Amino acid sequence: MSYEMSLKAMIEHQIVARGVRDPRVLEALSRVPRHLFVPPSLRSQAYEDYPLSIGYGQTISQPYIVALMTEALDVQKDHKVLEIGTGSGYQAAILSLLASMVFTIERIEPLWKQAKENLKDYPHVVCLLGDGYQGWRDEAPFDRILLTAAPPHLPRSLLEQVKIGGKIVAPVGVGYQRLIRYTRTGEKHWQEEYLCDVIFVPMVPSPEYTKDSR
Ligand code: SAH
């Protein structure tokens, strides 16, 4: 089966069938060949309904979860988006087709390098090797922030780097997590909505990066 057919089947059976309907999200998913973001030995499973290992104990999320989170983030064409947890770069590629610019942070150097390679055909993504707990001060504020690694609590720095009116979607908690959407309603006010339960890798504090130039 060609990858186009597998991709089409993935979108229909895993994503539309479970209720993701935003045409912009479906269109973005249909334009990114997911097999190019997974290790070569796992390419034949790239369109299956589960997360896959990308090395270093990390995973590329299940396609449905990528779709669900992307839809929940409600990204618009003129948005500046921050992603924490670049991993393979797949989620960043999807976001970059919906936004004006995506800034993404990864803490594991070989994954950061591989993601930059995977994303070479996506001009609207910038990858940083750094600690997501600090966000990206030089580029803040952002219209949208997406976390694909789970902190025990949403870090203050990230709450403060989203614009008023902006949204953050994040898995929050230890073990299994609650997927939460935060909307910043004022200088010191954020509204929280519970979306569903999820399982993500933990967001690991990485103080070794505190000296970088952000
Ligand atoms: N969005 C990815 C999946 C990410 S898996 C994709 O589409 O493939 C979560 C990633 O978050 C892992 O690569 C992990 O190394 C990274 N991560 C964990 N803690 C982090 C931190 N403090 N800062 C930046 N990245 C972090």
Distance 1 CA to ligand 1 centre (A): 31
pLDDT at residue 143 greater than cutoff 60: yes
* 50, 128, 201, 209: residue to mutate for ligand 1 pocket, most atoms within 8 A of CB: 201
Residue 211 pLDDT class (50, 70, 90 cuts): low
Domain membership of residue 177 as a residue range? 3-198
- Assess if residue 205 is contained within a domain: no
Q: What integer is the mean pLDDT of 47-60?
A: 97
Q: 207 lies in a domain?
A: no
Query: How far is the C-alpha of 209 from the C-alpha of 192, rounded, in Å?
Result: 30
Q: Tokens 């950061």 — which residue?
A: 112
Look at the chain and report how many structural domains it folds into.
Answer: 1
What CATH number is given to the structural domain containing 119?
3.40.50.150
Whether residue 214 has pLDDT greater than 60: no
Residue whose CA lies nearest to ligand 1 atom number 16: 85
H or E element at residue 92: helix 90-96
Whose structure tokens read 């993701």? 20
* Residue 173 domain flag: yes
Question: What's the pTM?
Answer: 0.97
15 by Cβ neighbours in 10 Å (0-12 / 13-18 / 19+) ranks as buried
Q: What percent of the chain has pLDDT over 70?
A: 98
98-140 pLDDT, tens digit per residue, is: 999 999 999 999 999 999 999 999 999 999 999 999 999 999 9
192 occurs within a structural domain: yes
Is 108 among the domain residues? Answer: yes
The percent of residues in the chain predicted with pLDDT above 90, rounded, is 95
Give a yes or no: residue 211 inside a domain: no
Q: Which residue from 47, 45, 98, 35 is spatially nearest to 69, judged by alpha carbons?
A: 98
Instruction: Give a yes or no: residue 139 inside a domain.
Output: yes
pLDDT at site 210: 78
CB of 90 closer than 6 angstroms to any ligand 1 atom: yes
- How does residue 145 score in pLDDT terms, banded at 50, 70 and 90? very high
**Distance of alpha carbon 115 from alpha carbon 107, whole angstroms:** 12
Q: Mean pLDDT across the chain, nearest whole number?
A: 96
- Would you say residue 214 lies in a domain? no
Q: What pLDDT sits at residue 1?
A: 74
